[in-house]
Amino acid sequence: MRIAIIGCGSIGSKLAKAADEMPEVKRIYLIDVDKAAIEKVAAGLNKAFIIDSLEEELYHCDLVVEAASQAAAKQFLPKVVARGVDMMIMSVGSLVDDDFRKMVFEKAKVTDAKIYIPTGALCGVDGLRSASVDEIESVHLTTMKGPKSLAGVQYLIDQGIDVDNLKERTVVYSGPAREAVKVFPKNVNVAATVSLLGIGFDKTQVSIVLDPAIKSNSHELRVKGRFGEMVCHTYNLLEPENPKTSHLASLSAIAALKRIVRNEWFGI
């Protein structure tokens, strides 16, 4: 199998390393706007090829993985699936736009390309996926983070919330997932994953809580429906090189790649 990884940051670099050790993976094409990042990752791999653009390589690629940004996902996803190549998306918030999402899923249907969304930094999506076959009454995701992990977010600046001087636990957002994904584009991909699997971006409720006493992050997923009730807590440790990203997110990308390359679908 030949794969392309867009984004050689925290997730992409770990995924590339894991892919390099998978015998099923023969070539790894690496793309990043940051040349230093790409060269650093490539230097530690045996199967890596640095490329400037995906256009040519799409003819030789079996799977493209986006681990870069919402903008990159929106840029590459339509092209990749139009060519009939499978794609894994980490910046799940890119799928919040209904017209864009419908367009790429329609394209993928026509070309028989698969779009993979790993579970990301959250547990409990397996239960939600099964539960959503029947009626779901409510889905509520509460994400708790250390304030500095949301440094520079315009929405917080506009609300007058100073993440450097927050003294107590504060709910900084409470509302539908659609808005949460838009105002925290780098931080709440799990809200997008939960929305896509469950009752959609408008009905899924999200609360974002900042707590100066914590340095990691946690998610509480609460689902009620015909199946009963489910509460699932995930306490994440963060990647040292990127405190916005949970280690579990990188692991979920690697786990998804393993399932794809080995064609093993346990717990599907």
Ligand X SMILES: NC(=O)c1ccc[n+]([C@@H]2O[C@H](COP(=O)([O-])OP(=O)(O)OC[C@H]3O[C@@H](n4cnc5c(N)ncnc54)[C@H](O)[C@@H]3O)[C@@H](O)[C@H]2O)c1
Catalytic residues: 219
Name the segment binding ligand X (CB under 6 A); options: 148-156, 174-182, 183-191, 203-211: 183-191
Residue 156 region by backbone torsions, left for phi larger than 0, else alpha for psi between -120 and 50, else beta:
alpha
**CB closer to ligand X, 186 vs 224:** 186
| 254 membership: H or E segment, kind and range | helix 247-262
Three-state SS sequence of 114-175: CEECCCCCCCCHHHHHHHCCCCEEEEEEEEEECHHHHCCCHHHHHCCCCCCCCCCCEEEEEE
Q: Which of 16, 208, 249, 257 binds ligand X (CB under 6 A)?
A: 249
CB of 75 to ligand X, least distance (A): 6
For position 251 contacting ligand X by CB under 6 A, the verdict is: no
**CB closer to ligand X, 189 vs 205:** 189
For position 143 contacting ligand X by CB under 6 A, the verdict is: no
CB 115 within 8 A of CB 108: yes
**CB closer to ligand X, 32 vs 86:** 32
For position 71 contacting ligand X by CB under 6 A, the verdict is: yes
Q: For residue 244, with 0-12 CB atoms within 10 Å meaning exposed, 13-18 middle and 19 or more buried, which class applies?
A: middle
**CB closer to ligand X, 77 vs 162:** 77
Name the segment binding ligand X (CB under 6 A); options: 106-114, 145-153, 176-184, 242-250: 242-250
CB 72 within 8 A of CB 12: no
CB of 135 to ligand X, least distance (A): 27
Query: Could you tell me which residues are beta bridge partners of residue 231?
Result: 222
Three-state SS for 186? coil
Q: Which of 11, 63, 65, 260 binds ligand X (CB under 6 A)?
A: 11
For position 236 contacting ligand X by CB under 6 A, the verdict is: no
Positions touching ligand X (CB under 6 A) are: 6-12, 31-34, 37, 67-69, 71-72, 90-92, 120-121, 186, 189-190, 242, 245, 249
